[in-house]
Amino acid sequence: MEIDWAALRAAAIEVMRRAYVPASDFPVGVAGLVDDGRVIVGCNVENASLGMTLCAECGLVSALHASGGGKLVAMSCVDATGAPLMPCGRCRQLLWEHGGPDMLVEALPRPLRMDELLPHAFGWVDMEKVTGPAGGPEVPAELAKWRGRGTVFVHPDLSGGATIWTGYWERSSGAPGTGEDKGILEEGPNFPTASAAVAWGLVRTPRIVVVDAEGGLSWAGEGELPEGIPQRWKKEEQA
């Protein structure tokens, strides 16, 4: 999509003049290009309770969803002189959520991608590492207190002559001689690949052991290899 930076900046300057800034006298205006071609705007709005002040980017994101949603492609943010202004840290996170890593922000001497402004950003991918993706392998509410504990064992099985993979979440760490209570917390469904079963397990605990058809053990969890497990699991060996 072609970006008319001059038009975006002009729209940002126009809305900047409507900012409500009785405390700072620092007006900010933003204009954003949406993936369907719409141009939306926002300005900062201060409050006597200063912590309630809304940055211009907050207004931009509200306008995005109030006018039909979509994804931000590019944004121009300006100060009182009309010069490009960088978003604050909180707003970079907000823009990442609604524009993603490829969104462009006007800067000098060139526009910057969001993954340049916010490297190693936090997003839903990080949430899914713990809770599972939407519609994915969430931990049942009654087992939530066990998240991060115990061990998941992944192993192959046969169904209709084809190899499938499944897993079970064991209460203990699996370490020998600990005297820990044992017992299965949860049995997993059937998965077409070992990697899918491992992903199910990692939502539950960082301790994942893959058992192959011959009974050999591989470590698919986090950290160093535990005692008694000779090798790390490799995805290319999942079949």
Residues 40 and 78 in one domain: yes
Closest listed residue to residue 229, CA positions, set 174, 179, 169: 174
Element holding 153 (H helix, E strand)? strand 151-159
Residues 123 and 18 in one domain: yes
Would residue 232 count as lying in a domain? Answer: no
> What contacts 24+ positions apart, CB below 8 Å, involve 157-161?
157/190, 159/190
Residues 149 and 185 in one domain: yes
Would residue 172 count as lying in a domain? Answer: yes
18: Cβ–Cβ under 8 A, 6 or more apart, which residues?
29, 43
pLDDT at 67 over 50: yes
Which of 2, 14, 46, 57 does the annotation list as catalytic? 57
Taking only the tens place, the pLDDT of each residue in 167-218 is 999 987 655 555 555 689 999 999 999 999 999 999 899 999 999 999 999 9
Residue 55: is it exposed, middle or buried by C-beta count within 10 angstroms (0-12/13-18/19+)? Answer: buried
156: Cβ–Cβ under 8 A, 6 or more apart, which residues?
163, 164, 165, 194, 211, 212, 213
Would residue 188 count as lying in a domain? Answer: yes
Would residue 195 count as lying in a domain? Answer: yes
Q: What CATH number is attached to the domain comprising 90? A: 3.40.140.10
Distances (CA, A) of 158 to 99, 164, 193, 233: 44, 6, 12, 21
d(CA 53, CA 91): 12
Taking only the tens place, the pLDDT of each residue in 140-175 is 878 888 889 999 999 999 888 889 999 999 987 655
- Structural domain harbouring 72: 5-127
Would residue 133 count as lying in a domain? Answer: no
Average pLDDT over residues 88-112: 97
The answer to whether residue 57 is catalytic is yes
